[in-house]
Structure 1
Amino acid sequence: MSERAREERRQGPALVRGKFLPDSTYDERLLDQRGSTEWLHMDPWRVLRIQAEFVEGFGQLADLPSAVTVFGSARTHPDSPDYALGVRLGGALARAGYAVITGGGPGCMEAANKGAREAGGVSVGLGIELPFEQKLNDYVDLGIEFRYFFVRKTMFVKYADAFVVLPGGFGTLDELFEAVTLVQTGKITKFPIVLLGTAFWRPLIEWITESLLANGMISPEDPKLLYITDDPDEAVQHIVDSRRQADQVALESRVQAASAQQNGT
């Protein structure tokens, strides 16, 4: 049997092998504007597929309890300290009543899903079609496979009360800085972002302070959007405290609005 015949790939809800394997992903074909202009006539149909992914994601995740999205490297080995940290984090989140959402892959994602599952919590994995196969890990209770990164990213944010970021590579950094940007620009508010692993993240925090802040590229309060710790329990407590504070502020705002309306009548 040829090497290609043994390969397989997830495409949304489908699994394809052998001669059905495409030469590119849906994201590649969506973003590629080179060559034939045939794509001009296909994009309206792609919109329907994108819409279907949003509908499926919203439908599957709408009834989740309060959740926290956990990011981290897919390359982390099960015998590494970061994997053990992810398991502890997933368990702590589950015991605090949070569902755990990850990208559904191996490494740190698997660790967080495993911790949540073993603690009796809700374990969710949101997978993505990649040029190389990365199946959902065995600790996912609810798994959804997406074709398009931007749909998946929406689900990560929409159904989470916070992000916790374990050590990771480009994909992890992409999700981290997108979340920070959404908070910084007010697209999402009172959204805790926790960096777990001070030895790994400290150089990044120093660069943010010594380069971005020092050159006036961010505001003085922006570095405070990132909370860094080595303790999963401290990370969870920070999320709980932030949510409690946000709820209190919202309650006070509603009381003030009702009082102002009453005084104006």
Structure 2
Amino acid sequence: MPTADASSSPLRGILPGLVLIFPALLAIALLYVVPLARSVVFAFVDADGGLTTAHLRTAVELYGRDVVFTVLVALASLMLISVVSIAIAGYLTLGATPWAVTALRWLYRWPLFIPFIVAGQTARNFLARNGLMNSLLIDSGLMDPATAQSLLDWRGLVLTFAWKQVPFVTLLLAGAMASVDRSTVEAARNMGAGRLRCLIEILLPQVRGTLLVGLILSLVTIMSVLSVPMMVIAGNPTMMTSMMAHRVTYYGDYAVANALGLFSYLITAVAAYAYLRMTLTQHNEGAR
């Protein structure tokens, strides 16, 4: 009898915790795991229930350019997000002008509170040929009206995604940089190193893991947003999310839409694998 009590005590100890997290696990399973599994399975199932790769071939034949376009837009957006976020976070950490640091800290966060659908509509009004940006440039004499052009193409997508995601990545980076030991930076400054060199050679290597996390989360967001591609770009090629919505809305073809979704899963899976590999490498180096 004492042995039975001893063996059941661990289960009795973790049971309250399991009860508390069960609703969250159930929500994750129903809202994410089950739809993910269904989309992967039905991408390879035909109307008769047999296995087929026809849906995948159709997706490649009809929307191959859109897949490549999506990858290129995502990479360009992530590059711009990286550069701007590093610059802002670096100035927030190393800036020598208090009022400028305070103003920048107050201003850069505003896009966090703006929904993507509002960001897409704002981009349409700002980047169109007769939009606010060109109107300001023409009125100020910096642009000839005949040379005005619309940026509602891949450039508008990159700018909109970057504008929306830079504050999120900057928050992560600024917090990580603030936690770095300042003695190394102060020592470098005393040796004559400039702020830019301190940022690139001292701070950035120590927060690259945080930067990669922010970029991976931004990639997932870029791959899942529907409103911005539909509002900013009207022609082809376009983002995969628009083509998936088009396939479902006008054709009711969930199979090909699921096949397109596989490319999104693959892209995000590659990014997650790169992050896990880097994390494991750093952990092994630290253990040595």
TM range (shorter): under 0.3
Query: More helix per residue: 1 or 2?
Result: 2
Q: 1 or 2 for the larger relative contact order (CA 8 Å, sep ≥6)? A: 2
Higher CA-based Rg: 2
Higher strand share: 1
What TM-score do you get using the length of structure 1 for normalisation?
A: 0.26
